[in-house]
Amino acid sequence: IVLALAMFAAGAAAFQRGALPAGRPVLAASSRRARAAPAVTMATAERVNYYNTLSQAQKLDQLARCRFMDRSEFADGISALDGKKVVIVGCGAQGLNQGLNMRDSGCDVSYALRQSAIDAKRQSYLNAQENGFEVGTYEDLIPGADVVLNLTPDKQHTSVVSAIMPLMKKGATLAYSHGFNIVEEGMQVREDLTVIMVAPKCPGTEVREEYKRGFGVPTLIAVHPVNDPKGEGLAQAKAYAAATGGDRAGVLESSFVAEVKSDLMGEQTILCGMLQTGAVLNFDKMVAKGIDPGYASKLIQFGWETITEALKHGGITGMMDRLDNPSKIKAFDLSEELKEIMRPLYKKHQDDIITGHFSSTMMADWDNDDENLLKWRAETAETNFEKEPAGDVDIPEQEYFDNAVLMVAMVKAGVELAFEAMVDVGMKPESAYYESLHETPLIANTIARKKLFEMNSVISDTAEYGCYLYDQACKPLLGDFMSKIDVDVIGTKYNADGYNG
């Protein structure tokens, strides 16, 4: 009996860590040898989906990890990073802007780049050097780092982590801002290293802008259950979130699994895909019906931002309340029709994300030199909306609602469908909320700057691929619906007589 109880206790402890011996993902021996060499590539490393190695109970447990943290839990600020050398690998949108915030918060930050990037003075090198950061090679800076932040593009994670891991000192911490490499590729990290995630729920540009105005962006934090040897992961993740300003906006204690599965779903559907599909379809409809192209372009480019600001401050109810009563009813009806049409697509995206089918398909495209990604990117650049500059016309704030009832309906339908799909597979409502309603305004801000080009430039490569994948499926799906649409719901005021009864 004593032996049985001991075995039960050991199994329960392993379950809580998400680390049952039979379920721990591994790389093949050839991959382990390759991992010690900087030249390893995505195609040469064997990928093992970590999530799919878990038992069903573990999967449900990890998907449901979501706790809204009280602001008082961040009273220690960045103390867990005091005196520690933070080295960021990668200096793109997330890398640069997180680093700027962390430096302003008092952290010791430097950047490690590949020798080739330094020699060629690539943009990553210029970003770091022109902002006054110390820049060095992996060999120069990684061995002395206490905390290494891997903020490179998702498709580079395996090669980057494989290159820096042998250089990291014993007991150091490896941090991510997206768990794709751990969850979908099964990267196995040295047991002495702590692995954490601090994931701001927006593009890097917005991380900086919100920090500069004294606020921050909603953030998910997590500790990889099989890599917390000293039990310091959560304290370090909290300090990292405080250093980037995330604690001011709200932090969810999550898991790598919940972050990845919800993040992929949100960015593919409402956050990026729905905004892109809606922009292209609404512009073409307006121009075909005689609306001035410059006006149509401006209505959409700045309309998403204006409409979703109301969403941010008052939720769907607040956004709908910006419409008069007849327009509100029309937006509701359009939204319900859109939900009926698009629900199977949202369920398919969520199913493909949960099973790993989406990741395996995208990684196959990585290995094929991004053939589909580059093709879809070129096609997006040639859309009529993207090529038509916003007209020099004044559009009052309320007009973005009154003359774009269909855009309001699309936001409502997309947010509700994404939320519904995530909750249906076991994610907590709070987690689904962050990845649908709360992040949409931050993505819409990027379209207001430089249209779809800006959005797809500052989101991750994974998000960009997922956005295009959704767009490719959704546009033909909405063909019949859009054929019945007229300018009363997009381009002109729906309630033209102003009667609000």
Q: What's the rounded Cα separation, in Å, for the pair 446 and 458?
A: 8
Q: What's the rounded Cα separation, in Å, for the pair 102 and 96?
A: 10
Which residues are registered as beta bridge partners of 87? 110, 148
Q: Are strands 219-223 and 194-200 parallel, antiparallel or unpaired?
A: antiparallel
Quote the crossing angle between the two packed helices 275-288 and 405-424, to the nearest 10°: 150
Strands (E), 261-325: none
Q: What's the rounded Cα separation, in Å, for the pair 98 and 392?
A: 35
Quote the crossing angle between the two packed helices 293-320 and 440-458, to the nearest 10°: 140
108 phi, psi to nearest 5 deg: -90, 105
Q: Is 385 exposed, middle or buried (0-12, 13-18, 19+ CB in 10 A)?
A: buried
Q: Which residues are annotated binding-site positions?
A: 263, 267, 435, 439, 460
Does the CA dihedral 379-382-383-385 come out positive or negative?
positive
Q: Which residues are annotated binding-site positions for substrate?
A: 460
Q: Which residues are annotated binding-site positions for Mg(2+)?
A: 263, 267, 435, 439
Catalytic status, residue 157: no
Nearest C-alpha neighbor of 429 from the set 61, 178, 68: 68
Of 178, 224, 349, 438, which residue is the catalytic one? 178
Active site members: 178
